[in-house]
Amino acid sequence: MTIKSLVLASACLLFGTAFAADNRSEVIEINDSLAPEAIESGLFPKSPTAADCAEAAKAGFTCGQIVPRKVFSLPASISFGTNSSELSAAARSMLAGFGPVLKRNEASGNKVVFVGHTDITGSRALNMRLSQRRAESVRQYFIREFGISPSFVGAIGVGPQQLKDKQNPASAANRRVEITTKPSN
């Protein structure tokens, strides 16, 4: 096992989830028309209650389907420049809709995880650090601007290991931060 694999595996264990691009939930690109309800149901899906299941049974349906969480991704066109972890004004504007949703759900029993990505430009070590800084930049934005508890939000960098545009590994589309959640236990 390489050092890079050990670092990524350790980070995934720390956050309790593996960030494998091929096995994850639907990825939704963040845009100005994304409703708070869509953000909330995507990051904090509600499981059916016993009453919901009883109603479903009366109608001939079964209950118990797991509602998948969604992953939200900052659009490449406004995310990060080459070798930069600075959030643009446009990125901050798009992320602003997430602030109240995150604040409302701090006691949900979940943890929000920001996953930083890079393109392949530069060394692997540089990209691992840069992706971590990008994720941390988004994390700090929510802590600073919305008073989100630091223990409710985590940041992890995966470098160029999960390219969005595999046909063009140096594409700006690969420089992004994704937002997801996981149970905090």
pLDDT number for residue 42:
92
pLDDT number for residue 8:
42
pLDDT number for residue 65:
58
Q: Which of 167, 184, 178 is nearest to 24 (CA)?
A: 178
pLDDT number for residue 45:
86
pLDDT number for residue 49:
66
Both structure tokens of 111: 């943890």
pTM above 0.85, yes or no: no
What residues are paired with 156 via a beta bridge? 115
**Cα 160 to Cα 143: distance, rounded to the nearest angstrom:** 26
CATH code for the part of the protein at 20-183: 3.30.1330.60
Ranges of residues in the chain with a pLDDT under 70 are 1-25, 47-50, 52, 56, 61-66
pLDDT number for residue 6:
40
pLDDT number for residue 12:
42
End-to-end CA distance of the chain: 28
**Cα 25 to Cα 115: distance, rounded to the nearest angstrom:** 14
Per domain, the residue ranges of the chain are 20-183
pLDDT number for residue 22:
36
Identity at 79, one-letter amino acid code: S
